[in-house]
Structure 1
Amino acid sequence: MGLRYCCRRIAMKKAASTLVLQFLLLGFASAADLLQNPDFETPPPGVPANSTGPFLLWQNDTLPGWSFSGEVYYLTASGDGQRRAVQLGQDGTINQTFAASADYADYLVTFAIASSGGANCSSNGSVVISAPDSRGVFPVGEKQRAVYGQFLGSWGDREAIDLVIGSETTESDVNATCWPVVDSIVLKSITSLVKANDNELVNGGFEFGPDFLADSNEGVLLQPAQSPVQSPLREWSILGTVKYIDSKHFFIPQGNAAVEFVSGNSSGIQTAAQLTKDSSYTLEFMLGDGNDSCVGDLEVRAQAGSVLQNYTIQSKGMGSAQKFSFKFKADSDTGTTPISFVSYVSSQTKDGTLCGPVVDDVVLRASLGLKLAIQWRFLLSLLLFVAPVMN
C-alpha cells in the first residue's frame, strides 16, 4: 500500500507539472503570419528597378499588403545595407487589416523607426501606432533606428483589426527628408498566462513580451504603461522607459529574456500579487548587467508591500549577475501586495547609449507553513469532491 501510494503521488505530481507546462506553452502562440509584407521587402509595382531615392506613392500606386494616404514614400535598399522601408511624410499613414485568431489573445507589435535626416531632424517627427484598443506615440531619434514594443489590444473570434501607422509633427517644416521611416513590423499573440510552480508571480521570468526583430541587436524599448493589462511586458506595468533584451544579443541571467532599466530617473517595473495577510513570503530575483559595456555601480530598489530594500552590484559591463532575496510579511488589508523594481540612477556606455541594471527571474515564494496549509486545503477540497463520485 505504501509503494502504491508513493507511485500515485509521483504520477500526480508529474501530471500536474505537465499540465502547468502545457498552460505555459500556450502563451507562446505566434502571430508572425498575420501581416502581409511586414518588412516592405515586396515593392510597389511602379517602383523603377534601378531606383535609389525615395519614391513618392501616388493615388494609383499600390503598396503590397497595405493601404496608404497622405505623403508616403517607398525607400529602396542602398549599397550601405539599408533595408527597404516606408517613409511617412505630411499626413502620411499606412494601414492593414488582419484577422484575430479564433481564441481570445493579447496582441503585441514590435517595429523599427528611424529618421533619414540625421542631426538636423532631432526634434521633428514621431510615429503614431493605433488599433481599436490602443494608441502609442513614439519619438524618432537622430542617431540610429530604434525598436519599440507596444500592446495593441485583446481580441478573438476572427475579429477584423485595423492596424494604423502614421506620422506626427509639431513643427512647421515639411521637409520630407526629416519625416520618420518605418520598417520591420512584427505581430505576436499571447494567450492567458498562469503561475509557474512555486511562484506567486505570473511572468516572473519575463519570457512573455513583444517579439525581437531578427535584424536587430539593440533590444526592444518599452515606454511607460501604467496598467499591466495594457503593457507589452505581460503582467507588469512599466515606469519610465525600459529595454526588453534577449539572450541572443545580451547576457540574460535566466531564460531567453530580461528587462534592463535604461531611462535612469524612476525607471522600472511593477506588478501585484494576491497574498494572505500576516503571512510570510520571500522575494528572490537576479540582478546583473547585460554585457553591453555598462560599467559602474548598478542599483535597484526592490519593494514588496511596505518593505523596501536597495541592492547594488559593481558592473564591468561584461555580463554577470547575482541572486538576491529578502523576507517580508503581507500587510495589505485588500490582499493585493505591490511588487516593484526601480532604478534612480542614469548610466551610459562610452558611446552615449543609455544603459542600466538588468533584472530577471523574479520569484515570490510563500513560507513553508503557508504552503503546507494551502496544500492541505487543496487536498481536503479534492477529497470532498472525489468522495461522492467514488460512492
Structure 2
Amino acid sequence: MTRRGREMVQVPRRVALLLLFCMAALVASDTTDGLLPNGNFEEAPDRSQMDGTRVTGRYAIPRWESCGCVEYICSGQKQGDMVLPVPEGAHAVRLGNEASVRQQLSVTPGTHYAITFSAARTCAQAEKLNVTVGAQSGELPIQTVYTSSGWDSYSWAFEAKDSVVSLTVHNPGYDEDAACGPLVDSFAIKTLLPPQQSNYNMLKNGDFEEGPYICPSTSCGVMVPPMDEDRYSPLSPWMIMSSTKSVRYVDAAHYAVPQGARAVQLVFGAESALVQEVCTVPGLPYKMEFSVGDAADGCTGSLAVEAYAAGGRVTVPYESQGTGGFTRGALEFTATEDRTRVVFVSASYNMKSDGTVCGPVVDDASLVCAQSHARRLLL
C-alpha cells in the first residue's frame, strides 16, 4: 500500500477512536457507592490529544469531559521548584483559569447524594472550586490547607432532580499563569439515607454515622465545608456555619472515635460551628448529652467544647494526650421557641507538632425532653 493510501486509512481510524472516546464520556455513570468511573484519573488520555501536560481533546480523559486549561499531572511532577502533590495513585488533573471537568451520573430523582473528592492548592493565591449538579451549585473554599500533605478531601451534597445529572467541578479563578489552579483527584459518591428521629433522641444523625464517603486509603478524613442554610448538607441535618472554615469528618479506621464508626472533629476553633435545628415546645425543659474527646492524631492540650441551645450554655473541658479517649458532657435548657438551634463549637485553636490544625472530636449526641423522659421512667 502506498504511503498516501496508509494515511487515508489512518485518518478515519483516528476519527472512529475519537468518536468512541466521546461516546464513552457521554455515558452516565451508575451511582454505586465508591469511586466514580475513572474518578482517580488513572486511565490516561491518548497522547494524540495532549500537548505536553495540557489536555487538548474535550473527551480525551476517559469518562470525563474537560473544558479550558486542563492539565494531566503525574506524581512527582514539578512546576519550578514546587512538586505538584497528587492525592492518590499516580495521576491527577489540574484546573487552570476558568477550567472544568464534568461527568454524567445516573441517579434516582428525590434521593440525596454526597460527592467526595480531593483537592490541593498549587500556585494561585486565593483558590476555590465551584461544584455544580443540575441547577444546584456551591463554592468550596480551599485556601486553607488542613493537612501536612498539601491536599484535603472535601464533600458536597445534592438532591437529584432528574435520573441523569451532570457533575461539574470548575475553577472560577484567574491567574497570570493560566496553568495555576487547584489539583483535583479521587472523585467518589455516596447515597445518603434520610436522617431519622427516634423517641429516645430528638437529634437526627446524632451519632454522625450518616455522612459522605471516606475512601479507605484516605487517612485524613473528609472536610465538610460551610454551607448556606438552604443547601443540603453531607452530614444532614447538621450544618456547618462559618465564612470559610470547614470541619473534619473522621472514621474509626484512622482516628479514635468515641462511639460507632464516624465522628466530627472541630478543627478551627470558634470559626466554624456544628449546628442542627430541632422542633421544641416553649417552656419545656430539655437535656442534651454528648461525647467530647481527641482523635488520637497527636492533638494535645485543652480540647474543650462549648455547647449551647436557647438560653443554655456549657463548656465541657477535655485535656488531651493525643492518644484517644473522651468524656461525656451535658447541657440542660428550657426552650423559648418552637424551633431551637443546637450548636457545638471548639473553645480554642489547636495545632499539632507539624503545624496543621486540629481540635476536639464530637460524637454520640442525644437530646430529650426532660419532662417526657421523666414521665417514661415513671411508667
The two structures have a TM-score, normalised by structure 2, of 0.79
Q: Which amino acid aligns with 1:245?
A: V
Task: Measure how far apart 1:340 and its partner are.
Answer: 0.8
Distance (whole Å) between structure 1 residues aligned to residue 345 and residue 183 of structure 2? 32
| Corresponding position of 2:5 | none
Task: Say whether residues 1:348 and 2:346 are aligned partners.
Answer: no
Larger fraction in helix: 1
| Corresponding position of 2:272 | 267
Matches within 5 A, 1:168-317: 168-174=172-178, 176=179, 178-227=180-229, 229-240=231-242, 241-317=246-322
Query: How well do the aligned residues superpose, as a CA RMSD in angstroms?
Result: 2.9
Distance (whole Å) between structure 1 residues aligned to residue 192 and residue 301 of structure 2? 36
The answer (yes or no) to whether the contact 2:308–2:331 under 8 Å persists in 1 is no
Task: Measure how far apart 1:253 and its partner are.
Answer: 0.4
Matches within 5 A, 1:67-86: 67-77=65-75, 82-86=89-93
Structure 2 counterpart SS, 1:234 = coil
Per-residue CA distance 1:272-325 (angstroms, 9 max, x = gap): 111233222211000011111111111221112211111111111111100111
Moved more, 261-270 or 33-42: 33-42
| Corresponding position of 2:55 | 57
| Corresponding position of 1:96 | 103
Structure 2 counterpart SS, 1:328 = strand
Is there any run of 5+ residues in structure 1 with no aligned partner, and where?
1-29, 377-391
Structure 2 counterpart SS, 1:112 = strand
Of 347, 359, 363, the match for 1:360: 363
Q: Which amino acid aligns with 1:206?
A: F
Q: Which amino acid aligns with 2:167?
A: L
Task: Measure how far apart 1:64 and its partner are.
Answer: 0.9
Decide whether aligned partners of structure 1 residues 207 and 331 sit closer, same or farther in structure 2, where only a CA change above 3 A counts.
same
Distance (whole Å) between structure 2 residues aligned to residue 293 and residue 345 of structure 1? 16
Task: Measure how far apart 1:78 and its partner are.
Answer: 5.5
Task: Measure how far apart 1:267 and its partner are.
Answer: 2.2
Equivalent residues, number: 333
Structure 2 counterpart SS, 1:244 = strand
Q: Which amino acid aligns with 1:365?
A: V
Structure 1 counterpart SS, 2:97 = coil
Task: Say whether residues 1:106 and 2:106 are aligned partners.
Answer: no
Is there any run of 5+ residues in structure 2 with no aligned partner, and where?
1-30, 78-85
Moved more, 293-302 or 39-48: 39-48
Q: Which amino acid aligns with 1:43?
A: A
Task: Measure how far apart 1:96 and its partner are.
Answer: 1.1
**Following superposition, which runs of at least 4 residues in structure 1 exceed 3 angstroms of deviation?**
76-82, 140-143, 368-373
Task: Say whether residues 1:46 and 2:47 are aligned partners.
Answer: yes
The answer (yes or no) to whether the contact 2:34–2:190 under 8 Å persists in 1 is no
Distance (whole Å) between structure 2 residues aligned to residue 276 and residue 370 of structure 1? 14
The answer (yes or no) to whether the contact 1:124–1:171 under 8 Å persists in 2 is no
Task: Measure how far apart 1:72 and its partner are.
Answer: 1.2
Structure 2 counterpart SS, 1:265 = helix
| Corresponding position of 1:389 | none
Distance (whole Å) between structure 2 residues aligned to residue 167 and residue 94 of structure 1? 9
Structure 1 counterpart SS, 2:240 = strand
Distance (whole Å) between structure 2 residues aligned to residue 253 and residue 47 of structure 1? 52
The answer (yes or no) to whether the contact 1:295–1:316 under 8 Å persists in 2 is yes
Of 163, 185, 191, the match for 2:167: 163
| Corresponding position of 2:132 | 130
Distance (whole Å) between structure 2 residues aligned to residue 57 and residue 168 of structure 1? 18
Decide whether aligned partners of structure 1 residues 61 and 285 sit closer, same or farther in structure 2, where only a CA change above 3 A counts.
closer
The answer (yes or no) to whether the contact 1:267–1:344 under 8 Å persists in 2 is no
The answer (yes or no) to whether the contact 1:122–1:140 under 8 Å persists in 2 is no
Decide whether aligned partners of structure 1 residues 322 and 217 sit closer, same or farther in structure 2, where only a CA change above 3 A counts.
same
Of 85, 88, 94, the match for 1:87: 94
Moved more, 200-209 or 219-228: 219-228
Moved more, 75-84 or 162-171: 75-84
Distance (whole Å) between structure 2 residues aligned to residue 140 and residue 369 of structure 1? 47
